[in-house]
């Protein structure tokens, strides 16, 4: 309480100011992403979390991917941002765009703000083109919420549909062990080990209006790639 919280607050504020300031000069958001990676490393280091990643050799450096990961803990985000050496961006609610400083910052640095009820197809294709031309990648958590027991929830199709419309390759990622570091509903952190497993990319053609069944089939396919390693740990077959 007297050391960890003030320490995290200090470097969050310092790196946040540096990130926002840099976005006025670096519209690709490269420096802002370096700030996010530095923040992730500091979070992991100060709380005693070790991250091991496997499968990076399956990826082509600089290529645009949509990384699809299971969601167990708040620690998934720093674990992935630190361990995956790609310029990562996120999908956020369009309403965040109205927040002073934060909204414009997200837009300038390549993050996608989406009205999930009324998605802008032209805007999606333009955003996907900017991702590719700037060497950026996207990371999504299609469960939509964190798992309490380690077992995967149903994958929602919205973010998968965006990838299908843009024709971007999907990379399934299994995150194992993060739920033990910080459990859902708790503020307590525990030192631990997180394993990130990168699976083979799934190439998909661009589809302007994918059917509900096609989206569901692809979401289920990706989920089945991620599920074995994650649920094996949940069943106690693999210890983190």
Query: What is the C-alpha separation between 219 and 49, in angstroms, rounded?
Result: 30
| Helical ranges in the chain per DSSP H | 4-22, 30-46, 76-83, 102-108, 121-133, 158-166, 178-181, 212-234
Tens digits of residue pLDDT in 41-56:
999 999 999 999 999 9
User: What band does 240 get if pLDDT is binned at 50, 70 and 90?
Assistant: very low
Which pLDDT does position 160 carry in this prediction?
Answer: 85
| Residue pLDDT, tens place only, 175-185 | 999 988 887 77
Is residue 173 within 8 A of residue 228, CB to CB? The reply is no
Rounded CA-CA distance 101/108 in Å is 11
Question: pTM for the complete prediction?
Answer: 0.85
Identify which of 173, 149, 158, 160 has the alpha carbon closest to the alpha carbon of residue 70: 173
- State how far the Cα of 52 lies from the Cα of 63, in Å rounded to an integer: 22
β-strands 170-176, 66-69 pairing = parallel
Q: Is there a contact between 4 and 47 (Cβ–Cβ < 8 Å)? A: yes
pLDDT category, 70, cuts 50, 70, 90? very high
- Where along the chain do its domains lie? 49-234
pLDDT digit string, tens, across residues 141-163: 888 777 777 788 888 887 788 78
- pLDDT at residue number 238: 47
* Pairing of β 112-114 and β 66-69: unpaired
Q: Is the pLDDT of residue 97 over 60?
A: no
pLDDT value of position 11: 85
Q: In this structure, what token pair is assigned to residue 6?
A: 């003030």
Which long-range contacts does 30-38 make (Cβ < 8 Å, 24+ apart)? Answer: 30/87, 32/105, 32/109, 33/87, 33/88, 33/109, 36/81, 36/88, 37/81, 37/82
Residue 213, classified by CB atoms within 10 Å of its CB into exposed (0-12), middle (13-18) or buried (19+), is exposed
- The pLDDT score that the predictor gives to residue 173 is 96
Q: Which residues of 230-239 are buried (b: 16+ CB within 10 A; e: fewer)?
A: bbebbeeeee
Distance CA 216, CA 158 (A): 10
Tokens of 193: 């080990």
Half-sphere exposure at residue 190, Cβ-oriented, CA atoms within 13 angstroms:
14
- Residue 124 confidence (pLDDT): 64
pLDDT for residue 95:
60
> Which of 47-61, 133-147, 220-234 is least confident?
133-147
Residues 6+ apart with CB under 8 A from 123: none
């Amino acid at each position: 309480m007297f050391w960890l919280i003030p320490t995290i607050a200090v470097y969050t504020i310092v790196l946040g100011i540096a990130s926002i300031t840099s976005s006025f000069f670096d519209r690709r958001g490269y420096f802002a992403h370096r700030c996010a990676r530095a923040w992730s490393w500091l979070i992991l280091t100060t709380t005693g979390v070790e991250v091991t990643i496997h499968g990076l050799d399956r990826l082509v450096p600089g290529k645009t991917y949509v990384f699809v990961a299971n969601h167990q803990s708040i620690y998934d985000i720093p674990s992935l941002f630190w361990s995956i050496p790609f310029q990562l961006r996120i999908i956020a609610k369009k309403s965040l765009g109205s927040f002073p400083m934060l909204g414009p910052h997200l837009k300038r640095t390549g993050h996608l703000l989406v009205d999930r009820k009324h998605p802008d197809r032209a805007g999606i294709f333009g955003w996907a083109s900017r991702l590719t031309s700037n060497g950026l990648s996207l990371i999504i958590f299609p469960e939509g919420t964190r798992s309490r027991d380690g077992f995967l929830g149903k994958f929602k199709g919205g973010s998968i549909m965006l990838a299908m419309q843009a024709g971007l390759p999907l990379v399934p990622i299994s995150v194992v062990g993060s739920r033990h570091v910080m459990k859902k509903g708790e503020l307590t952190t525990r030192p631990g080990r997180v394993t990130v497993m990168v699976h083979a990319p799934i190439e998909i053609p661009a589809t302007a209006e994918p059917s509900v069944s096609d989206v569901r089939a692809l979401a289920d396919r990706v989920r089945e790639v991620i599920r074995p390693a994650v649920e094996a740990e949940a069943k106690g077959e693999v210890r983190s």
